[in-house]
A and B are shown apart, each in its own frame.
Chain A
Amino acid sequence: MTGSFGPGPLPESADVVVIGGGVVGCAIARELSRFDVSAVLIERSPDVATGTSKANSGILHAGFDAEPGTWKARLNVRGSRLYAELAEGLGIPRKATGSLVVAKDTAEMETVAELRHRGIDNGVAGLEIWNRDQVVAHEPNISSDIAGALWAPTGAIVCPFLATVGFAENAIRNGVRIVIECAVTGIDVADRQIVGVRTTRGRVATRFVVNAAGLHSDEVARLAGDDSFTIKPRRGEYILFDRSVGQLVNTVLFPTPDKVSKGILVSPTVHGNVFIGPDAVDIDDPEDRETTAGGLAGIIAGARRIVPALPLGTAITEFAGLRAAAGKDFVIGPSPAARGLVHAAGIQSPGLTSAPAIGEVIVEMLQDVGLRLRAKASFVPVNPEKPRFHELDREAQARLVARDPLFGRVICRCETVTEAEIVAAIRSPCGARTVDGVKRRVRAGAGRCQGGFCGPRVTAILARELDVPITAVRKDSIKSWLFLSRADLEAGEGIHA
């Protein structure tokens, strides 16, 4: 099968259907693409990475949090190693910053000592207990009232969007079809065996389905008669700061964790920003990504416990992400209700870290339930490199512009993103189709002016490249049109394509 990405068409049949284009679904699809198998990934949004994968901490956890023996423990450590091997070849920005769990008093020092032992049990390398002076030497802006910290040299940071896009693009290059704007409406089960998936774009016959539907994975399970788990969305709010304060922290700073979450952290991002967050609030609506005044105030207070001098004046955006929690551990394994259905669900933290390892175990499980897989010689494990103008030296920049003049037109001035990069992001195999899709791939609009300058220009480039009118260009979701024409307004029409 030739790989593709776009709103249809859905093939009439496939060996495997993966439901959900988050980092987990895309990592599974990429793992499947090693084999001679027809695989289709369906995603209801116009892009991959639009649910939990678009709003999270972007951290590759070292793996000392989870209790030994859990999926979380096993897959976190394996996933963290896989990113170290895969990231560069797949075009996934990753920085090995290390991480610190900061303890404020003797009781918390005891907790971080326990974490160290747990980490050793989980196979995490290099864990050390640092005293106050060691921590302060590494993090000059840290609160003066700390007692010490757990240092995890294998902790790292990653771009969660480009991780998802990197897996998706590689899957497509190796033959996976990704069908977007395609929502699952039913799962056909005959004799307790999966036989097909019905969608808003028609039906695909298949005997194997992977449920990687994130916040909606319990709904997908129920479509197959499986009510073995329930997703409880847990919202976390974040504040992102400008790159001008990128030197605030050098590493991921966690507080000593409580029972609910890892707490409010202060962390650098791979793109040189700093963020604080998240809090953890159970909510009912799996689409409710509203930030709240109380939530933002709470994470500011929480972050100040670690770094008292927060540069609040340099905040560039606030956002909320939703964790798809289904209890303490991930829900990974064959459905108890329908043969051929395998769940990769309830993937909360450390889900981003675990994603490539989840891909490995899900493929093993599919084989266990009867999918025949034969490795294919044509598998190409890497994506072609995409030049990032602002990261290059002047000589390399000059060569790029000589090759393609559109590298000479800077569209996003805050992040120095050129038109050539935006065009490449749209034309790539897993190409952006929305303004936020462009932002997530090349950072046009992700800087301090938040698209105030480049937004209209990116909109025009999208319209040109996708060959659609300006009024059909969307921000993010299917119905998130940005502009209407004068004629629409005169005709009393609302915003629509």
Chain B
Amino acid sequence: MREFSYDVVTIGGGPAGMAAALAAREAGAKRVLILERDRELGGILQQCIHNGFGLRRFEEELTGPGYAHRYIDMVKATDIDVWLDTTVLAAEPGGVITSVSPQAGLTVVRAKSVVYAMGCRERTRGAIRTPGSRPAGVFTAGAAQRMVNMEGYLPGKEVVIVGSGDIGLIMARRMTFEGAKVKAVFEIMPYSNGLTRNIVQCLEDFGIPLYLGHSVTAIHGKDRVTGITVSEVNDKLEVIEGTAFDVACDCVLLSVGLIPENELGRAAGIAVDPITSGARVDQFRETSIPGFFAAGNVLHVHDLVDWVSEEAAIAGRSAARHARGELAPSGRERSVMAGEGLRTVVPQRLTDFEPGKMSVRFYFRAAKPMGASLLQFWADDALAFERKLRVVKPSEMIVADIPVRKIGDAATLEFRVVPAPEKVAAEDEIEEEA
């Protein structure tokens, strides 16, 4: 087995891996390596041929491959090494990475810092226990997207989308463009799990009905899918008797959630946040194992790639500092709690701040949709910071910068989202939507 040494290695060459590698190199890491399983860099962006990427990061509207190529060009302009067609089999504490590829065979890389950037995978039919038969024609939306956009084949011509995640909404439009009939989108929750702009641009613009509060209770067909049975659900998500109806189709695309592809992290023994399924990180994006960082969708599922790039840059800079021995182990660690109205917060813990640090950026997911609200930061049970939110949706990340002076020395740190008092909401300046 051949052995190599690097300062910083990113596992994954999608948007997170590239941004982390670039930031690490810019921050002074001399030997930087990107390990990528696919035959090109870019990750899932390469199959996202629709536009809407980069409004925040590049202040223009790019396609997925367009966004990816901005970063690929930046990587190529550096001396960052890229190993394609390479799968990481293990990344052990101490920075020993074992990878395999057809060209290089089994290889050991010793890294001073490792950045997890493996992205996420789609939840499956099995995970949501949809009953029925198991014919051909049931795909996760992302797998279908790859076949359509990269291979040029279609998964069916009469399509039903289950779940209203963004990939499903994008695929509703894509399949319509391809000439297929998209009959409906069924979402079990009383609200959509996709971005508002995708509901408008992918469903409403094409007259595709979105059924909220509807659950697929059976998939039918022996060879190919022939149809599904759908029922309304009550507020406990239980099927309401007598509401069942059938929809004929030859294809079911599932868009029922994304899960961080965090197996390498779990295998290495990093502490995992049970809600995000990603690592529990501090503000440097360092996991519970020193020198192991995480960024992008393997840390928590993002709504916009722009946030992924930004977060990965934090991880990359931190990884470079760790490689130089400048990211000292923190003497003190404080947990950050997602309280009322919130499902997740990242980072989940704070360690000692760098000298001169003015603020810390936090990313949140809301527990449920709300109207005008207040994002509150409580330090030691005292309200230390408050910001107005025009509207709150679980599908859209909340991002907030909290001044370090507001965090202070408080031992307990908690965020909440509470309904805004009416008059406050009315006179508030409108928050820009993510």
Contacts and interface: CB of A to CB of B under 8 A. Distances in A.
Interface of A: 239-240, 244, 287-293, 295-296, 313, 315-319, 394-395, 397-398, 401-402, 405-410, 413-414, 416, 419, 448-453, 455-456, 459-460, 470-471, 474-486, 488-490, 494-495
20 contacts: A296-B129, A315-B127, A316-B124, A317-B125, A402-B105, A448-B121, A448-B124, A449-B121, A455-B143, A456-B143, A470-B151, A475-B136, A477-B223, A478-B223, A481-B224, A483-B154, A485-B153, A489-B157, A489-B180, A495-B157
B188 to A, nearest CB: 13
Given A405-B102, A479-B223, A489-B178, A495 B129 contact: no
Per DSSP, chain B at the interface is mixed
A484 B1 contact: no
A174 B131 CA distance: 42
A-B CB proximity, top 10 nearest: A317-B126, A475-B136, A405-B102, A483-B153, A410-B87, A479-B223, A480-B136, A398-B106, A408-B102, A401-B105
B127 A394 contact: no
Contact of A290 (B37, B180, B218): B218
A394 B98 contact: yes
A395 B105 CA distance: 11
Contacts of A480: 135-136, 223-224
A401 B261 CA distance: 25
B154 A319 contact: no
Given A291-B131, A495-B137, A452 B122 contact: yes
Given A290-B220, A408-B101, A480-B135, A486 B157 contact: no
B296 interface: no
Contact of B126 (A450, A471, A478): A450
A335 to B, nearest CB: 30
B124 A450 contact: yes
Interface in B137-154: 137, 139-140, 142-143, 146-147, 151-154
A481 B266 CA distance: 37
Given A414-B263, A474-B136, 12 more contacts: A290-B133, A292-B218, A398-B106, A448-B121, A451-B143, A476-B136, A480-B135, A482-B137, A486-B152, A486-B179, A489-B157, A494-B157
B136 A244 contact: no
Interface string B150-187: 01111111000000000000000000001110000000
Nearest to A389: B100
A238 to B, nearest CB: 11
A452 B126 CA distance: 12
Contacts of B104: 408
Contacts of B154: 483-486, 488-489
A316 B103 contact: no
Nearest to A314: B127
Contact of A413 (B37, B122, B178, B222): B37
Nearest to B147: A456
A246 B101 CA distance: 28
A191 to B, nearest CB: 39
A183 B100 CA distance: 44
B221 to A, nearest CB: 9
Nearest to B152: A486
Per DSSP, chain A at the interface is mixed
B223 A293 contact: no
B285 to A, nearest CB: 23
B350 interface: no
A102 B133 CA distance: 32
Contacts of A291: 131-133
Interface residues of B, number: 54
Contact of A409 (B102, B124, B136, B147): B102
Contact of A401 (B102, B151, B157, B178): B102
B126 A316 contact: yes
Contacts, number: 156
A451 B220 CA distance: 20
A239 B131 CA distance: 11
A452 B135 contact: no
A494 B250 contact: yes
B126 A460 contact: no
Contacts of B127: 313, 315-316
Given A398-B1, A483-B155, A450 B125 contact: yes
B224 A479 contact: yes
A283 to B, nearest CB: 13
A177 B98 CA distance: 44
B405 to A, nearest CB: 40
B217 A413 contact: no
Contacts of A419: 102
A296 B130 CA distance: 10
A452 B143 contact: yes
Contacts of B89: 397, 410, 416
Contacts of B134: 289, 319
B85 interface: yes
A160 B134 CA distance: 19
B136 A449 contact: no
B76 to A, nearest CB: 24
Given A289-B134, A474-B136, A408 B103 contact: yes
B342 interface: no
A36 to B, nearest CB: 40
B222 A287 contact: yes
